[in-house]
Amino acid sequence: MAAEERLEWMTAREIAARVAAKSLSPVEVARATLDRIARLDPQIHAFLTVCEDQAMASAREAEAAVARGDPLGPLHGVPMSVKDEAWVKGVRATMGSLLYENFVPDEDSTAVQRLREAGAIIVGKTNVPEFMSWGRTTNRLGPETVNPWDTRRCPGASSGGAGAALAAGFGPIAVGSDGGGSIRIPSALCGLMGLYPTPGRIPDTNSFSYARVGSLGPMARDVRDLATMLNVMAGPDGRDQRSPPPLRDVFAELEQGVKGMAFAFTPDFGRIALQPGLGETVRAATATLADLGARVEEPGLQFPDVWPWFSAAIDDDGALKERPFTRSAAFKTLCADNLDRLTDYGRGVAQARLTPEALEAAKARTAAVKAQFAELFERYDAILSPTLPVVAPVLTEGSGDLYPEFCCGTYFTAIVNVAELPAASYPCGLLDGLPVGLQVIGPPGREDRVLRILRTLEQALPFTAHPPAFA
């Protein structure tokens, strides 16, 4: 493989095609990826655990399958990372907490099992804040993850390790998760694409997921890679009890553009203050869609601040009343005796209690938000907004909130989780040398439409920049 081919910036599709054509070796790809991680990750701390031995064994198996002429999956030989929320058999799963620093599951999560069956090679587990519940990717297990675009800055959370790994060229795809913006926020801050699927679209079986409206989801640098990952991971497994609408063929209309579509653009949901210049960067991207034949209107949307009732809204069946949980039997229950091992924000999650009155009030408010979105989708094919009100913030000492006015940066994203709508972030430009994200919100169950809009943006407004120090 010639050095100028720059393996670290190839898409998953390119790697899989080259592997199938026998012009690229899965062993060579895995070795190069692991060597890059060993050389550069000490600067950004994207990984909690690198599983080198398991990855190389999988790569050798993948190479043997090619040699035998076996049928190959769409991700055959592709290196990737998994957020340390979904379980990987034989690799420790921590949820960013000292409580689970030595927990090694004996099963893959459903999502990881399906990715392996598609030929993907897991190179490691990426960093998360404790219980995936904070706006910084920091915990007591190791150093805080920083942003490859500027290592003084935050990569977002809670999939911040996944975002940093992709931005640094540690594989073309990653599994993240999103319960209030945790895929879309790191994607926006790290110059990536990330999809929050309809809750239940990708089963969360054998993971640390504990939010009813949360979802595992794909992160990538290429829209078709996102679509491929979604196809691989999606579908009921008989264990996750959520029932989303059937997934439409995400490739059927992917290349058909946006001509004739109608979009509502909101720069602020009627109440969110933006960093100067950010709104103009996102608005310019929406103008590109208008130039391609879409109707883009700015109807002056007014949405409520969901944070006063967010913790109740995400779990209206009351399952979070007592403590973090998962449906998986092997999950360990938090004990009061262990609270001193938690971070301050993790302790707050562990001790949270929701009253029946709070849950009932959240149900009513959630229903009102869903009705507001439903009325909009009678007139528009999608809703567009910034993903975040700011570019990547500078890290401060300690673990304080970097977005004191924006609740961990989720003002644009959390309302989408409350409404259980598919949404994605697209890197639509740079502001002061840092990535800016455009959020695309689709109607219920329409990941195919969200990806179609992203693909149109990718073709008309390609984002080809990489972090200078890592490119």
Query: Reduced to 3 states, what is the DSSP secondary structure of residue 153?
Result: strand
Strand 121-126 to 47-50 pairing: antiparallel
Rounded to 10 degrees, the C-alpha dihedral 265/271/275/279 comes to 10
Amino acid at 442: G
CA–CA distance from 45 to each of 39, 142, 228 (Å)? 11, 8, 27
| Unique residue bearing structure tokens 């990536």 | 192
- Which residue in 387, 376, 380 sits closest to 412, CA to CA? 387
Q: What is the DSSP string of 352-374?
A: ----HHHHHHHHHHHHHHHHHHH
Residue 25 annotated as catalytic: no
Residue 83 annotated as catalytic: yes
Q: What is the DSSP string of 71-108?
A: ---TTTT-EEEEETTB-BTTB---TT-GGGTT---SS-
| Unique residue bearing structure tokens 């990984």 | 47
- How is the chain split among helix, strand and coil, in percent rounded to 5? 35, 15, 50
Catalytic residue among 25, 83, 133, 207: 83
Residue 187 annotated as catalytic: no
Report how far residue 122's alpha carbon sits from residue 80's, in angstroms, rounded to the nearest whole number. 5
Catalytic residue among 109, 133, 158, 207: 158
| Unique residue bearing structure tokens 């012009």 | 23
Catalytic residue among 81, 109, 159, 182: 182
Omega prior to 182 cis, within 30 of 0: no
Which of the residues are catalytic?
A: 83, 158, 182
